[in-house]
Amino acid sequence: MWNEKKKALTFSFDDGVTQDKTLIEMLNRYGLKATFNLNSGFFGEKGELIRNGVSVRHDKIPKEEIFAIYAGHEIAVHTKTHPFLPNLPDEQVIREVTEDQKTLSELMGYEVIGMAYPCGGKNHDARVETLIRKHTACRYARTIDATGEFSLPIDPYAWNPTVYFIDTDLMFALGEKFLHEEPESPSLFYIWGHAYELDAWNFWDRFEEFCRMISGRDDIFYGTNREVLGI
C-alpha cells in the first residue's frame, strides 16, 4: 500500500495562516508531508484570536502566495467562508465546498479532492457527509474527532485523526508507540492542528523535537492525506 511499508504518517493543518510558512520549512527539513485546508474566501485577511489565553495572529496567506508556499504538500478544502455546516441548508453546504474546491484547484493546477470540516464541536453529521459525497468533487473529509488509534478510515467522509497536536504529551506517547510497533496490518498515524497554535502554546521547539523523533525511518511512509489514501 505504501511502497510495501506497513506504517504511514500524515499531518493536516487548517485555516491557511501565515504561520504555515514556518511550519512548512520545519516539515520540509525533516522530510515530512502535510495537507493544508484553506478558506479561499479569506485569502490575505488580517486578524487575531485568543487561544490558550494568548493573543495570536490569525493572518491568512494572500492568494498570490498560495502556490509557492504550499508546493510539495497537499491543498484541501476547508469551505469558502468557514461556516458551521450542520446549520446550513443543503444548497449552501454544497456551494461552500464546491466554490472553495474550484478556486483552490485553479490556484494549484491540480484537482483538489480533500477536505477538512470547519469549526469545532460536532462539525459534521450524516446529512453533510452525504451532500459532500454525492454533490462535490471531494473524495475524503477529515473530522476533529481524535481517536488515539492508528486506523485507516472506515468512511473517508468521516475520517477521524489520531491526535490533536496541542495534546503534546499524548502525541509524543503515541509517537513512541508508533515507532516501536510492528503491525500486521496497515497502521496510520494522523496528526492535525492549526499552525497558529504553535504560537499560542509556545511549542515550536517541542514540535520540532517531535518531527526529529518521528522522521527518517525506513519503515514509515511519509505522505499527504491524499497520498496515504492512495487517491
Long-range contacts of 143-147 (CB under 8 A, 24+ apart): 143/117, 144/117, 144/120, 144/192, 146/192
Whole-number pLDDT of residue 195: 98
How far, in Å, CA of 36 to CA of 112, rounded?
Answer: 11
For residue 95, how many other CB atoms are within 10 A of its CB? Answer: 16
Per-residue pLDDT band for 1 (boundaries 50, 70, 90) equals: confident
Task: Cite the DSSP H helix spans in 70-189.
Answer: 90-108, 126-135, 168-180
Does residue 140 register a pLDDT over 90? yes
Whole-number pLDDT of residue 2: 96
Does any domain span residue 41? yes
Q: What average pLDDT does the structure give for the chain?
A: 97
For residue 173, how many other CB atoms are within 10 A of its CB? Answer: 13
- CA dihedral for 86, 91, 92, 95, sign (positive or negative): positive
* pTM for the structure as a whole: 0.97
Whole-number pLDDT of residue 197: 98
pLDDT digits (tens, 9 = 90+) for 57-101: 999 999 999 999 999 999 999 999 999 999 999 999 999 999 999
Does any domain span residue 110? yes
Q: Which domain holds residue 184?
A: 7-229
CATH number for the domain harbouring residue 92: 3.20.20.370
| 6-33 mean pLDDT | 98
Does any domain span residue 1? no
| 31-54 mean pLDDT | 97
Instruction: Tell me the pairing of strands 48-51 and 54-57.
Output: antiparallel
pLDDT digits (tens, 9 = 90+) for 43-56: 999 999 999 999 99
Q: Which residues contact 65 (CB under 8 A, 6 or more apart)?
A: none
Whole-number pLDDT of residue 55: 97
Which candidate, 141, 145, 32, places its Cα nearest to that of 79? 141
Does any domain span residue 2? no
The domain total for the chain is 1
Whole-number pLDDT of residue 229: 97
